[in-house]
Every structure is written in structure tokens, then in C-alpha cells.
Structure 1
Amino acid sequence: MSASTTGALRIGAWDANPEPPEPPGALTCLTDAEPGRGLALVRACADLWGWQPPARDGNRGKYVWSELTAA
């Protein structure tokens, strides 16, 4: 986590899967399906979110982040 000078809080997580994150459709969010449920929550609560692959040492996976601005 980090806070920027703009008053936003950035929260991120890394995982080993190099595929881009796929937000679930609205119907998936209403079922008991687990894949993508966390990203659906991030999309619903965050002001901004994104992802990026690791940039060095040939690491695999991805870093997914979200920002929450102060009210």
C-alpha cells in the first residue's frame, strides 16, 4: 500500500498467472462462482484500477492495483 500526494491510497497484489485480469460479467457476480469475484469487488469500490506485468528479471505473473481517493 502507498499513499500519493493526490490523496489516493494504492493497494496492489501480485500473482503468478501472466494472463491479464478478466473482470466477471454482472451475472457472474450474482452467482457462487469464485473466479473473478475479488476483481469484481475491486471494480465496484475503487476509483481506478489496472495491472502490469513485472518489468525485470524475466519474472512471470502480474501486479494488479487499485486506487481509492480520500473523501
Structure 2
Amino acid sequence: MDTVSLPDTWAYALRLPRDPRAARVARMTVRAALSGHGRHESLDAVELLTSEMVTNAYRHTHGPASLRLTALADGRLRVGVWDSHPRIPAPFGAPPWDQVRLAPADAEAGRGLRLVQEYADAWGGLPIGDGGPLDRGAGKLLWFEVRDRGPEGTRKAVA
């Protein structure tokens, strides 16, 4: 008798208060979830990018944020960060804002979203709200995806 193995899919969601420690809590959550599922090959990139996005949510909004980490059946990891501000920044918005200029090497800010372009395989942003005349917007969802890497650090092909 043949057995069928289910795909290794799972999701974690975390609501983050407006708190300067939110990025640390998000990093710890990502590290625990990925380590617990044996997804060590993507851990550093996912942890870094999650931290950058949660930090931006804290710095540029006045409300809480939410984090969702999802393992998809084809080996991709998707991270979404919701916040209450409606503006979708580059590189998540539509062209011509799909590229972020490199920040100077000595810059103390402005490098986080550029890291998304360097380490993520895909990314995007969605406004949350119905867009009607009374809609003040419920914020936005920014997301990125990272594919598993093989033992040599090369990206595994997605079928």
C-alpha cells in the first residue's frame, strides 16, 4: 500500500503592537518557526527581510502591524507584513517605482527595501480597503518570497 505524504505547508500569524521591540519579536518568531520546520537554508535572508519590513512598519505608521509567515507547497516561503499606512513604497509599488536606488554605504537609513530586491525572489504590495469614496484605507500588505536554497547556496528550481 502506497502512502501519500502531504506537502510541508504551514502558516504562522502574529499581531505586533506599535513597540520598538516588535522587530526583535518578529525575528525570534521567524527563527523559531523556520528552525522548527527544518528550513535552515532560508533562515538568514527571511529573518533579515522580515526585520527590515517590521522596522519600517514601526517607523512609518502610528498603529500595530501583523506578520504572516507561510510555507508554500513548492518550497517557497512567503512573508507578509500588514500596517495601517496606505502608501506602498518602492520596490513594492507599480513602476516606475519598482527599483530603489542604492543608499550610500555610510547611510544610517534607507537600505532596508533595497535588501528586499537583493535577497527576495519575488515581492509586492497591496492596498487594503475597498477604494470607495468614504474609504480611508485600512493600510497595506507588503510581501516577499524566498525559495529554498540547495546545499551549495543555489536556489532550487520551482516546478
Q: Specify if TM > 0.5.
A: yes
Q: CA deviation at 1:46?
A: 0.3
**Kindly tell me: are residues 43 and 29 of structure 1, through their superposed partners in 2, closer, same or farther at Cα, counting changes over 3 Å?**
farther
CA contact (8 A) 2:83 2:140 kept: yes
- In structure 1, how many angstroms separate the alpha carbons of the residues matched to 2:143 and 2:104? 20
**Kindly tell me: are residues 16 and 41 of structure 1, through their superposed partners in 2, closer, same or farther at Cα, counting changes over 3 Å?**
same
- Unaligned residue ranges in structure 2 (runs of 5+): 1-68, 92-99, 150-159
Instruction: Say which structure is richer in strand.
Output: 1
Matches within 5 A, 1:60-71: 60-71=138-149
Q: CA deviation at 1:69?
A: 0.4
| TM-score, length-scaled by structure 2 | 0.38
Which portions of structure 1, spanning 4 or more consecutive aligned residues, are displaced by more than 4 angstroms?
A: 55-59
Q: CA deviation at 1:58?
A: 6.6
RMSD across aligned positions (CA): 2.2
| TM-score, length-scaled by structure 1 | 0.75
Whichever of the two has the greater Rg, that structure is: 2
Match of 1:34 in 2: 109
Corresponding letter in the other structure for 2:117: R
Secondary structure of residue in 2 paired with 1:40: helix
- Unaligned residue ranges in structure 1 (runs of 5+): none
Instruction: Identify which range, 1-10 or 50-59, moves more after superposition.
Output: 50-59
Q: Which has the higher contact order (CA 8 A, sep 6+)?
A: 1
Instruction: Say which structure is richer in helix.
Output: 2
Corresponding letter in the other structure for 1:69: R
Corresponding letter in the other structure for 2:77: L
